[in-house]
Structure 1
Amino acid sequence: MNDEKQWNETVERLRRGLPVNEELKQELRESLLQEHNMKGKRGSSSIDTVKRHRSRWKFGALAIAIAGLCLFSTLWLSQRDTDKVEAASLHLFDQFSFDQQLGRENSAGMAEYEGTIYLPLNEDGLYVLSSSEYNKLIDGNINFVRVSPDGTQLVYVQEGSLYLYNIADESSRLLLLGGSDYGLLETPAWSPDGRNIMFVSRTQLKNEIDRETESSQGQIYELSLDNGTVRSIVKGQYPSYVAGQNGLFFERDHQIIYRDLKRGEEKVLDSGRYPAVSNDGSYVAYIKSQGDPVLEDVWIADTNFNTKKQMTQNELADAWENGELVEGKQQARYTFEQPTWSHDDQRLFVYKVFHTNTVFKKLVRFQIAASKPGPEDIVAGSIKALIYRDEEFAHTFFNYDPGYLKGTSPRQIGYRILGNGEVDGKTYVDAETYLSYLDPYYEIDKVRYVVTDTPTGYKISDMLQLDNITVAVWGDAAYRVVEGEKQGDPLMELKDIPHKGTWENGKLWSLLHVEEDHTLWFTVTRASGDQSELGLLRYDMESKQFTEVCTIEGASSSYLLQLDDTRQNVAISTELNGKPDLVIYHLPDHKMTILSEQIMGVKPKEVYTRFWNHGKLIFYADMDGREVFFSFDPQSGEVSAN
């Protein structure tokens, strides 16, 4: 009996200390059952004989089992380590703010699956953003959604009840009614096998004063989709299953807790809120508060508690109370809510909340990488942040306060990394940024960025002006500009532009200067009777020759011109048929694409450009009062969610 107990305790200790490959475990189970059934058919030794010899072979097998388990563990961990690193080695590689996409509502509880984003918008419904589509799936007050592990279903919260949405047939059904039995239902989470859903039940609050007390008193339940039964799990909120384990992360009393669902044992990981486990069970992301005044940041830890890392760097800013600035007091620049992993665990979505004269949210997408962003990545990231008009984020790339970074007009519309090197032991990156705005104006700003390696990654420590080339229109002519003043003779004049048949040239609009081949690209309006069109032309400043590139019928003006790096595609922001639109002209085959016509679902009212990014044009469209970002690939002709 003691031998039996010792054997069981030893195996249990081994089992708890090793990760489990569930697929292999199932295969072994099926194999053993099959072997057992075969032996049953063939017959076996007598039961008495088996009992006499059991104690002999059990401890001999123990050594074999330990060796086998250790070998299995080594193989499993080696396989896992080829794909994953410890949380302490992770880095935020890039950030994209969906601030304009959220529009007038405060969104919450979004989800993502293989590039498709599901956006619950309070009081308005659930929207889907996928490839070329932006559409409303469901009407109503929806504030949380999660996608099933196989991507075929959504569980969402509407008015405190749980619903299930089938993506294939676009049907919804009530899963669990919120009310007297369970109170308001919140934050559902799918089990890795898709057969169960955890959710939080909370009694309805009467006032905001009770909210903090009540937040620690939520009750976590588990709903079986197989038979509809509901079982109580534990006090807490924001449950998140752990793939490969019979375990759960959740929040209680501002602590991140892991619970073994089989044994009921709990372990506190850290102080924090909103735990979110990656889909492969490797990491848990959460929000942690530190300092006085309190600063919230995004942290990521290994689910086995080995390491953890602070991923964001919040800052202090002027404090606000009741919409008024408070002199001499500071607060966190923002707070964070509800981190959510992408389906492939390579991106992390987080709500960033600003508390100033008004409270507003940005949905932010972080790119997670095992490699540290290099100096060129940091410089490119700072410029792209300004192109997205996110000056607050652009400042995070600096280890000093760079002041105003031209986040408005003239605004950045593109960039190019020119090279990098080292001088006097200092690393630098040279880059040129392209700026423009509505009045015919184009600027090439060449800057040397001095980059320093810091404990939190590379940071820009200085900026040195290398060169500045500016071209602008005065009256009916284009001039070089220095410090806001036109210089010398005109580079080009409206009167010299060739006429096209009976069409009369009107006004010079957008400008684009290509330094390498000494050309100016520009648009000019034309009229013939009651008809209008927009001509795109190229002017060679050395040969003094004009070349007609293309004509956009029905266009009455234009705002920006942008060439991609290959010089094969030009984006023309124009007023087309009475509304702002984007036209892409592919120079080699003379193909014209109107981007408003490529977006499926809700039809855009207006379309605007951002920049060419690695061969794709990033742009956004006004759809139902929200500005939604897309990218266009001129090679495939496809529009997709950015």
Structure 2
Amino acid sequence: MDDHQVEQALKELKKRIPVNMELKQRLGKAFKRRQRQRTLQKWGLAAALLLLAGTFMLQGPGGLQTVQAQELHVQNQISFIDIGSGSPLGVSEYKGTVYLPVAGKGLFAYDQSGFHQLLQQEVNEAKINQDGSKLILQTGGTLGVYDVAQKKYTELLKGDGSAVFYEQPSWKDHQTILYVKKVLEQQEHGFTVKESGIYEMTLDSLAPTKLGDGASPSYVNGENAIVFEKTADTRSEVVFKDLASGQETVIDEGRNPAVSPNGKYIAYITSENNRRELQSHVYAEDTVDQIRISDIDGKTKRVVTSNTPNRQIHEQDLPKGLKPGDTPQVLKVTGLYSYYHPVWSSDSQSLFALKSKNSEGSTMSVMRIDFSKKALQEEETVRAFNQAKILRDLDFARSLLKDHQDFLIVSNPHQVSYTITGSGTENNRPYVDVEEHWAYTANPYYSFSHVRYYLTPKEQGYLIDETKDLPGGGSILQQPDGFIVMEKDDGSKQRLFSADSLPNELRPEGNFRISSLAYLSKQNQVIFSLQVLQDPGIGQASSVKVVTYDIANGTFKLLEHVTAMNGMKNVGVEGIIVSPDGRYAALDLFSDDDKQFQSHVLLLDIEQGTASMLEDALSATKVEGTHTYFWDRNRLHFILTSHGQQMHYQWNAAAQVVELP
């Protein structure tokens, strides 16, 4: 490929990168960072150009004791699988393995070894039983059981596709299921629901017993009771029913309830409604989804998401285009996200749900919310906020800001690592200091900064309310004359090298250019890539050289020369990111010969001088592509593309293993 082909290839490749491309903007010629004091009120549209992704991934909590729902604190929220668009499909989890249907492709399992197809047939819902041995599946109104060990599917109850449907299955115990039998009466225009009955059935007898009417049944472990959804007038209510007495107790308004395996909590979707009058007969009305948890008896409740109205226009501008009249006119606004089908983890310490952004072309994702009885402390709050930014989990990020302020995120430059360097108090205000590193896709630009996060104590935990830059930051970039320079925030500039500075043994015979680079702050070195361009006249194929430059002594060292990737030549480089300690690097590579045009990650141990493809560690799964996310200490977070879906994993460079985030 020539230089033009490289640029076109990068444009195509970036379409496949899981980032918010609709907000991408070029941020000036040199992207200089100047000293600034910023309050989070400024982190709105204007500051969106500088508010970018962070880099810390929290591990799942341990030792969660039984406490009231209002005392459960969100430790982490992460969206980790994108499953395309379409109707939401129910998922479940058992000891780290997530079972999920994918529309048009079948049933899959996501675990530490990869993404695996279990069934090719269409599946709408999948629920695992208490011992992890069986899945109850719902497909088009028919129920069946999948034996995990034997990999065998057995049909149980078959709907007719027009009048009788069996839906919303769940488990009472490892051999007994709950489900909804829905009977429809077809009308000339549409249909009426004659029955929406909740039934119980053992897999041995296959003899159903009706428990009542409603939807979304979930058994309460340790009690002879169920929780289900019931319609009252136009409202959906979450109801607790004692099966012995038949007594029903309304817990809350909401839908899609799910009881935790320990029988202590209920999770469900609720809608927050806010209607206000803008002028006579003109109203704005917000209807925003939230996920709420409750004690099993409904005594305490807690909202565990921070969804916000998805306003496309400023509501104060609405009356300007309307004619006065007596007919009420209403601007209806949904939330930024919609949530579906919450389900608890097998250990009752986390909650899984489907999440979809309410914008055109958005995909559905699977998210996990981790709980603990202990609130996030100062450093944990800053880590969680940075993670939420880089993963675009804006609802969780907002929950960690004072006043839950709105903000936007752009794609370039993007944060690629960060390290907490200290904490303390200043004028009685707690703070956390962070060293942040940023990169720009496929361009020789890299920056590093030292940022102080100020926090405000709340009743339990902390909120971020302000940040400011500290001295010591700078950037490395290519000037118009081709020279790579280091510019410090104090205004000093150091010319480092150019293509002409390279020793002859590193210079390709044909055309080439300096591409992505990074700064190893502890080693005071620049690691950069040389994009060797296709030159048919001399038989030169495109390839990538990875080189380090020692700033102190002005010497170069070749780390790796990539001439082929997965058997394909004409290799290009999209980006390079390094671990905070400077030992490990990861490059996003692609090939112009790849018809699928996927990216693939090259791993480098700079200290040991070794290189390998990340996909070598994923031999147990079908790999279509990999792409870097960010470094968290010596763990590389990355995206795996498999069976057309994108999912989040992490590579433990020290242990040389793939892990779940």
- TM normalised by structure 1 equals 0.78
Aligned counterpart for 1:230 among listed residues 186, 205, 208: 208
> What is the DSSP-based 3-state SS (H/G/I as helix, E as strand, rest coil) of the residue aligned with 1:378?
helix
Q: Relative CO higher for 1 or 2, CA cutoff 8 Å, sep ≥ 6?
A: 2
Once the two structures are superposed, what CA deviation does each residue of 1:461-495 show, in whole Å capped at 9, x if it has no partner? 11212244111123542113479x99745212222
Q: Does 1:156 align with 2:137?
A: yes
Cα–Cα, structure 1 residues 388 and 333, in superposed 2: closer, same or farther, change >3 Å?
closer
Once the two structures are superposed, what CA deviation does each residue of 1:84-129 show, in whole Å capped at 9, x if it has no partner? 2221111111111246x21344442011111111121233321221
Aligned counterpart for 2:427 among listed residues 415, 420, 424: 424
Contact 1:155 1:162 in 2 (8 A): yes
Alignment of structure 1 residues 303-382 onto 2, 5 Å = 303-318=296-311, 330-357=333-360, 361-382=364-385
State the partner residue of 1:112: 93
Alignment of structure 1 residues 191-590 onto 2, 5 Å = 191-192=172-173, 194-204=174-184, 214=193, 218-253=196-231, 254-292=236-274, 293-318=286-311, 330-357=333-360, 361-391=364-394, 393-400=396-403, 406-437=409-440, 438-455=442-459, 457-467=461-471, 468-474=473-479, 476-481=482-487, 488=493, 490-500=495-505, 504=509, 506-526=512-532, 529-530=539-540, 533-554=543-564, 556-575=571-590, 578=594, 579-590=598-609
Contact 1:88 1:307 in 2 (8 A): yes
Amino acid of the structure 1 residue aligned with 2:178: M
Aligned counterpart for 1:609 among listed residues 628, 642, 646: 628
> What is the DSSP-based 3-state SS (H/G/I as helix, E as strand, rest coil) of the residue aligned with 2:552?
coil
Cα–Cα, structure 1 residues 374 and 145, in superposed 2: closer, same or farther, change >3 Å?
same
Offset of 1:329 from its aligned partner?
5.4
Offset of 1:360 from its aligned partner?
5.1
State the partner residue of 2:123: 142
Once the two structures are superposed, what CA deviation does each residue of 1:260-301 show, in whole Å capped at 9, x if it has no partner? 223322222222211111112121111223332333322112
Contact 2:163 2:186 in 1 (8 A): no
Higher deviation after alignment, 412-421 or 232-241: 412-421
State the partner residue of 1:636: 655
Higher deviation after alignment, 340-349 or 583-592: 583-592
Amino acid of the structure 1 residue aligned with 2:158: L
Counterpart-to-counterpart distance in 1, 2:185 and 2:468: 56
Cα–Cα, structure 1 residues 241 and 225, in superposed 2: closer, same or farther, change >3 Å?
same
Cα–Cα, structure 1 residues 150 and 364, in superposed 2: closer, same or farther, change >3 Å?
same
Counterpart-to-counterpart distance in 2, 1:349 and 1:264: 30
State the partner residue of 2:58: none
Cα–Cα, structure 1 residues 496 and 82, in superposed 2: closer, same or farther, change >3 Å?
closer
Counterpart-to-counterpart distance in 1, 2:188 and 2:659: 41
Offset of 1:619 from its aligned partner?
0.7
Cα–Cα, structure 1 residues 426 and 522, in superposed 2: closer, same or farther, change >3 Å?
same
Counterpart-to-counterpart distance in 2, 1:105 and 1:639: 30
Counterpart-to-counterpart distance in 2, 1:108 and 1:559: 34
> What is the DSSP-based 3-state SS (H/G/I as helix, E as strand, rest coil) of the residue aligned with 2:615?
helix
> What is the DSSP-based 3-state SS (H/G/I as helix, E as strand, rest coil) of the residue aligned with 1:135?
strand
Counterpart-to-counterpart distance in 1, 2:219 and 2:573: 52
Counterpart-to-counterpart distance in 1, 2:584 and 2:608: 10
Contact 1:573 1:581 in 2 (8 A): yes
Contact 2:520 2:582 in 1 (8 A): no
Amino acid of the structure 1 residue aligned with 2:336: R
> What is the DSSP-based 3-state SS (H/G/I as helix, E as strand, rest coil) of the residue aligned with 1:542?
coil
Once the two structures are superposed, what CA deviation does each residue of 1:356-405 show, in whole Å capped at 9, x if it has no partner? 45675332211111110122222222222222244554344322576655
State the partner residue of 1:42: none
Cα–Cα, structure 1 residues 400 and 303, in superposed 2: closer, same or farther, change >3 Å?
closer
Q: Percent identity, please.
A: 25
Counterpart-to-counterpart distance in 2, 1:207 and 1:365: 41
Counterpart-to-counterpart distance in 2, 1:421 and 1:405: 29
Contact 1:532 1:554 in 2 (8 A): no
Contact 2:342 2:351 in 1 (8 A): yes
Amino acid of the structure 2 residue aligned with 1:412: Q
> What is the DSSP-based 3-state SS (H/G/I as helix, E as strand, rest coil) of the residue aligned with 1:376?
helix
Counterpart-to-counterpart distance in 2, 1:287 and 1:372: 23
User: Max radius of gyration: which structure?
Assistant: 1
Offset of 1:456 from its aligned partner?
7.3
Higher deviation after alignment, 550-559 or 461-470: 550-559
Cα–Cα, structure 1 residues 566 and 502, in superposed 2: closer, same or farther, change >3 Å?
closer
Contact 1:353 1:359 in 2 (8 A): yes
State the partner residue of 2:78: 96
Cα–Cα, structure 1 residues 548 and 112, in superposed 2: closer, same or farther, change >3 Å?
same
> What is the DSSP-based 3-state SS (H/G/I as helix, E as strand, rest coil) of the residue aligned with 1:262?
coil
Contact 1:278 1:284 in 2 (8 A): yes
Greater helix share, 1 or 2?
1
Contact 1:94 1:366 in 2 (8 A): yes
> What is the DSSP-based 3-state SS (H/G/I as helix, E as strand, rest coil) of the residue aligned with 2:310?
strand
Counterpart-to-counterpart distance in 2, 1:208 and 1:120: 33
Offset of 1:166 from its aligned partner?
1.3
Counterpart-to-counterpart distance in 1, 2:403 and 2:426: 20
Counterpart-to-counterpart distance in 2, 1:536 and 1:82: 46
Counterpart-to-counterpart distance in 2, 1:501 and 1:317: 52
State the partner residue of 2:106: 125
Offset of 1:167 from its aligned partner?
1.5
Once the two structures are superposed, what CA deviation does each residue of 1:216-262 show, in whole Å capped at 9, x if it has no partner? 96210011112111111111111111222222111112221112223
Cα–Cα, structure 1 residues 277 and 404, in superposed 2: closer, same or farther, change >3 Å?
closer
Counterpart-to-counterpart distance in 2, 1:264 and 1:133: 45
Cα–Cα, structure 1 residues 149 and 205, in superposed 2: closer, same or farther, change >3 Å?
farther
Structure 1 gap segments, 5+ residues each = 1-80
Offset of 1:499 from its aligned partner?
3.6
Counterpart-to-counterpart distance in 2, 1:487 and 1:589: 34
Structure 2 gap segments, 5+ residues each = 1-62, 275-285, 322-330, 566-570
Counterpart-to-counterpart distance in 2, 1:574 and 1:536: 12
Counterpart-to-counterpart distance in 1, 2:184 and 2:552: 75
Cα–Cα, structure 1 residues 112 and 534, in superposed 2: closer, same or farther, change >3 Å?
same
- TM normalised by structure 2 equals 0.76
Cα–Cα, structure 1 residues 218 and 372, in superposed 2: closer, same or farther, change >3 Å?
same
Amino acid of the structure 2 residue aligned with 1:427: P
User: CA RMSD for the aligned pairs?
Assistant: 3.2
